[in-house]
Structures are given as structure tokens and as C-alpha cells.
Chain A
Amino acid sequence: MSGFSVTEPSNRSKWIAGFLVITYALITMIPLVWILLTGFKSPADAISYPPKVVFDPTLEGYVNLFTTRTRQTQEFLEANPPQNWADEIVRQYDMVIVGPSKFGERFMNSVIIGFGSTFLSIFLGTLAAYAFSRFKVPLKDDLLFFILSTRMMPPVAVAIPIFLMFRNLGLSDTHLGMILLYTGVNISLAVWLLKGFIDEIPREYEEAALIDGYTRFQAFYKVVLPQAATGIASTAIFCLIFAWNEYAFAVLLTSANAQTAPPFIPTIIGIGGLDWPAVAAGATIFLIPVMIFTILMRKHLLRGITFGAVRK
């Protein structure tokens, strides 16, 4: 557009707008930056007043996050010199590392349940979305309303019968149970989003394939799927982020075996007093993948965020 367009904001108003938005963005980043910094502080630095922005970085928080430690006598410490750098860090407090903490396991549970439910949601969701998009299906128009209404139930309310159901079926505190549950929660949105993407692929492509002798399955697999790849990827990211972040079901329905990271991270604080650096380290490791995904997929996320109500 030329500089004379009446709808183009003036340079001055652009400057002011830019300044205000950047100021807001920087303020909004403060808590996130603080999580990152606190993870590299010593417990003493983390709770010092005034809050320290400049400090000696240490990996203590990360060591504490991944290990369990016990206090030992001086004789024992002298008899057993530290094995590695992590050992040396905990020696400052007369402690020795006795084994890994539960964090690694909880993190893996998050990965297994997150990816498992995402795969299942996308697999089933794509099939259903294709059918909804291409065939006459009864009750098609009620789908959006159905999505909305299933999301009106507080998760805590749904958790009551799910808890009883899982107990009867032996699915309590299992990965499979959580994968099925998250798939059930995600799938209505996944179908809705995917249907939008498949609707945009011209029918003529498949019809040409059908005339060329493809079966419906082949046409779906070889023509529609590649065309819908971007849509499927962005829907998948959305399902993954939901399952990754979910807390209410996880805290109510899982405990020793299938517990994911969100209910676990707040409990780190109980291990050895007020260990904020370890909490911050756990939060950092847990939040960073989502931040990276968000930045990489920013162009495609809007649809998922707005329940597909806003196209692009």
C-alpha cells in the first residue's frame, strides 16, 4: 500500500502502539523469566531480599529436582569422596545422592499420556471428521453445540463418575485410563477443527481419484490425508498441549503409578523444606517444550485456541 492510504495508521501512532504493546509484553514475561532465573539460584539466593537479579548461577535446583538425598556424618563424607559434579554440589549441605527422584518418572508419564492421547484423538478424530465432512451424517449440525456443552461440566464434576467407572474397570491410576480420558475430552474439539480443515480440501480431488479406480479408503489415505497434513499437525499440537497441561483429572484420578508432572511439581516443595529453585527447575523443564511449540506453530494455533470459531 502507498503511504497515502487512509486506512494505514500514521507513523507516530504506530510508534506509540508498538511502545505500549512491547511494554505489556515485557511485563507479562517477568514471571516467566523469574521462573527461569530461580531455577539457577541457590536456595539462599532464591529467598533473599531484595530479590536478586544478578547472582552466582548454580545447578543445585536441577540436581535437587532429579535426585533424592540424605544427610550423612562427617566420617562418612570423608571416607567417600564425591563421584561427580552433582555429588559435589550436594556435599555443601553434608548430603549424598542416594538415587533418582520421581520427577523423571512423572515427566515420562506426561510424555506417554500426552502423546498417546494425542495420537488416539488425531487418529479417531481424522476418520470422524472426514466422514462428517463428506457424507450425510445425522445430527451433524449439533456437533458444535455438543462440544460446547461437554465443556460446560467442570472437570471435577466429571471426575466423580469417571473415578467410579475406572475403579470398576480397573483403569484407576493407569496410563491407558488417562489416555482414554484425555482422548474423550479432546476428541470433540479435534473433530470440529479437523472437519474445518477437510472441508477446505476440494471434493474434486477425491472424485478424480475415485474415477481413476481408487477405493474410498485409498482416496482418503492418498489424497485427503496429505492435503490435510498442516491442519492435522496444528490440531495435534493443540491436543498435546491440553493433555500436557491438564491438572484436575490428573490430581484426582492418578497417584503412584500414572501421575503426570503438573500434580507432581507443586509437591517438590515438600521435599527438604522450601526448595523453590527445584520447583522452578521442574517448572522450567515442563514449560519450555510448550513455549517452543507455541513459537514454532504460532501461525496455526489460533484456530485451536478459539475452538475453530475464528478461521485463520
Chain B
Amino acid sequence: MSDRTVDRVAQATPERVARKIRGLSDRAIAWIFISPTIFLLLAINIFPLIWTIQLSFTNYKANRIGREVKDVGLRNYERILTDSDTWLNMQATAHFLFWTIFFQVLIGFTLAWLINKKFKGNDLWTTIIVLPMMLSPAVVGNFWKFLYQPQIGLFNYIVSWFTGKDPSSFEMLGSVTLAPWAIVIVDTWMWTPFVMLICLAGLRSIPDYIYEAAEIDRASKLRQFFTITIPMVLPFLMLAVLFRGIENFKMFDLVVQLTGGGPGSVTELTSINLKREAFEKWRTGYASAYAIILFVTVFGLASIYVKALNKVKQR
């Protein structure tokens, strides 16, 4: 932009003087400032991705260093996609993804809507509600395991207090039917505040005059809710779902501490299976192919979703 004061000053003065004023040229400074970051991003994000793609076509095993590495072409991909266990893991992940997002959106939006009534002390209570999501998922997951213990756990005690069931008659983490719900409960407890905060930001972005205008038009409160509140918050809500979706698709720490994938493999989410293949069975090539498949899946789904989100935003 040539009309900036500094540029005008610089143009009016001889090159030698201009240099003195500016020290290094802007271009040089820009490069000095940016290059370490770019280097780090390449080293920690881009380079590993490329290496993973390369490994995914081999039978490399990271625990056997001297072993000859063979190029196996697309065999790893073929085996993963035809393995029925892969689809069971995908199903477990889909169950987890769907229900966590369902409950988090439902509870998170309701809470945001209630908090937006601006009752006295709402700031304090919002902060308290936010606490769980700031904590370490692994440590929290480990402690929820204690709450879920059949005979002694607080969770079972509270459930039995309300339902009259014997607290040792059900195992949240040990039962094939309950374990998938046990992880949904903890994730919902932990991440509902995230959806709540984004919804709250959305609700607060709606200017008062829209409601005032609706009031003058004698629109009922219910109608205002469905024609103003919901459509105005929707882009925010969709953004929250996008972030939660990506995060929960790669969910690892919380669930690995709670169930470790069990019982059997009913809570074995894709990341947990990936960890087994890569760091327990040491099938590095196979695991790399698995990683790429996961990445492409998330990337594809997220791109479609972002397109939909942009359409909603434009309305």
C-alpha cells in the first residue's frame, strides 16, 4: 500500500537514509520472523505426513532395525479396507461420535440459552461449568474409572440411589452394552461446555433490535426462538460440531484410560486400534496406511461439512 505515511517518507528520502530509518528491509524482517515457524511446521506437521505416506506402501517394522524393507504397493490399504475389524472400529467410532455430538449440542445449547437470560452470577457459574474441559483427559478418564467401579464407585451408587438397582449388578466399563455409553457420558461431561461457550458467543452476537422489531410485529416468543435465535446461532453451532467431530474422531486419551478399548473391542475407537498396530504389534507400514485412511476420511468429511457451513453462513 503506497499511500501509507511510512512509505511516503521512505520514497521522499534517498535510499541510504531510508535504510537507516528502517533498519532491515521489511521483506527481510518478514522472512526472519516467519521462517522459524515455517521450519517447525514443516518438521512437525508436513514432513511426518509425507513420511507416513511413504511408509504406508512398505512392510516396515520400526522395532526391527536391520530388516529389509520391501515395497508392497497398495497391499496394506487393501488389507485394512477388507478387514472386518476395521469396520467394527469405525462403527464404534461412529456410535461415539454421533451420541457425544447429539448430547453435547442438546445440553450445550440449552445451557447457553439459559445462561443468556443473564441471571445474577451467571459469569461465575459459567466458569465452573467450563472447568472439566480444561483438565487433562487422561487423568480425568483414569479417575472416572474409579467412579464407575461396580461395588464402590460413586456413579453406581448414585444410579442405584435413583433407580433402586443393586450397585454391584451392573458394570459400566465391564459390560458390552454399557461400555460404549460409559465413554459417551464422560465425553459429554467433559466437552458440553465447549459447545456451550460457542453457542453463548453466537447468542450474544444477536443484536437486541432484531428481537425488538419482532416484538413490535407481535411475533410470539416461540416464533422468535425458531425464526431468529435458531437460525442466527446455527453457524456457530455447526462450527462447534465441526471441532467436536474432528476431536472425537481422533479420540484417544480419555477412552484409552477408561476402557482401553474393551471389553472385547466394543470401545476400540480407530485411534486405539492404530496405537495397537503401531506401538504394540509394531506393524509400522500397516499402521501408516491406517493413519492415512483416517486422515483422508476426516479431511473428506470435514471439507464437505465446511462447504455446508459456508452455505448456512451466506444465508
Chain A residues close to B by CB (< 8 Å): 5-7, 9, 13-15, 17-18, 20-22, 24-25, 28-32, 34-35, 38, 46-51, 124-125, 127-128, 130-132, 135-137, 146, 148-165, 180-181, 183-185, 187-188, 191, 203, 207, 210-211, 213, 215-218, 241, 244-248, 251-252, 261-263, 265-266, 269, 276, 279-280, 282-283, 286-287, 290-291, 293-295, 298, 301-302, 305-307, 309-310
From 203 to 218 in chain B, residues with beta carbon under 8 angstroms from any chain A beta carbon are 208, 211-212, 215
Given contacts A21-B114, A153-B291, A185-B44, contact A252 B157 (CB under 8 A): no
A136 to chain B, nearest CB (A): 8
Q: A262-B139, A310-B198 are in contact. Are A127 and B34 (CB under 8 A)?
A: yes
B304 at the interface (CB under 8 A from A): no
Interface: B302 (CB within 8 A): yes
The 8 Å CB contact of B62, one of A30, A163, A291, A295, is A163
User: Are A160 and B287 in contact, with the CB atoms below 8 A?
Assistant: yes
Q: Confirm or deny: B101 has a beta carbon within 8 angstroms of a beta carbon on chain A.
A: no
Are A50 and B157 in contact, CB atoms less than 8 angstroms apart? yes
Which residues on A sit within 8 Å (CB–CB) of B95? Answer: none
Pick the 9 closest A-B CB pairs, nearest first.
Answer: A184-B44, A215-B23, A157-B291, A154-B250, A18-B119, A247-B138, A161-B48, A245-B136, A17-B117
Label chain A's interface by main secondary structure.
helix
B239 lies within 8 A of A309 (CB): yes
Interface residues in B, total, Cβ within 8 A: 105
User: Which B residue sits closest to A211, measured CB to CB?
Assistant: B9
Given contacts A51-B157, A152-B302, A287-B136, contact A131 B29 (CB under 8 A): yes
Contact (Cβ within 8 A) A34 B45: no
Q: Please measure, in the bound complex, the distance between the C-alpha atom of A215 and the C-alpha atom of B38, giving whole angstroms.
A: 24
Residue of B nearest to A238 (CB): B134
Q: How far is the CA of A32 from the CA of B147 in the complex (A)?
A: 11
Shortest Cβ distance from B104 into chain A, in angstroms?
Answer: 13
Kindly list chain B residues whose C-beta atoms are within 8 Å of the C-beta of A293.
Answer: 134
A180 to B215, CA, bound (A): 56
Q: Are B246 and A14 in contact (CB under 8 A)?
A: no
Contact status of A51 and B152, CB under 8 A, knowing A151-B246, A152-B295, A180-B40? yes
- State which residues 151-183 of B face A: CB under 8 Å: 151-154, 157, 167
Residue of A nearest to B276 (CB): A156
Q: Is the CB of B201 within 8 A of A306?
A: yes
A115 CB to closest chain B CB (Å) equals 16
Alpha-carbon distance A261/B49, docked complex (angstroms): 28
Residues of chain B within 8 A of A244, CB atoms compared: 136
Residues in B whose Cβ lies below 8 Å from that of A157: 52, 250, 271, 274, 287-288, 290-292, 294-295
Known: A153-B291, A207-B6. A262 touches B115 (CB 8 A): no
